[in-house]
Amino acid sequence: MISRTAAANATAVVVRNGATLIKNIKVEQRASAAAALFLQIFNTNAPTVGITAPVEVHRVTAGDASLILTFSKVEFQGMQGGFKLDTGFSYAVTTTPTGSTNPTAGQEPVVEIHYEQLGA
């Protein structure tokens, strides 16, 4: 399954309730003036961004005026075949690793996460 958000920000995207296996994450930054941002992954379907501690944080590459876009990709591997979340799956993009501030308007990245539902 795929979760894709065209302009991710500090409002949490709730993907699902229940155990989830994240296979990979791709984040595209199309705004050349954008500063580096942070993708926070939560093991819950009801995070309070800035208060709920993320279980994973990934740096989003800053924009680059000499490129059409910048992107980063994370592949999760291992015995389980990915990164396991037991309770739920949600994410948000912020200006600091554990903060709650939105990216500058127009500089929100595209976030695409491939995942697998575990159980019901």
- Summarised one tens digit per residue, pLDDT across range 47-73 is 999 999 999 999 999 999 988 889 899
How far does Cα 110 stand from its chain's mean position?
9
Confidence of residue 81 (pLDDT cuts 50, 70, 90): confident
H or E element that contains 2 = strand 2-5
82/65 Cα distance (integer angstroms): 34
Share of the chain above pLDDT 70, in %: 99
Confidence of residue 120 (pLDDT cuts 50, 70, 90): low
114/47 Cα distance (integer angstroms): 20
Domain ranges of the chain: 2-117
What is the third-level CATH fold of 2-117?
A: Jelly Rolls (2.60.120)
State the Cα angle at 25 between 110 and 54, rounded to 5°.
Answer: 95
Alpha-carbon separation of residue 60 from 66, 88, 119 (angstroms):
17, 22, 31
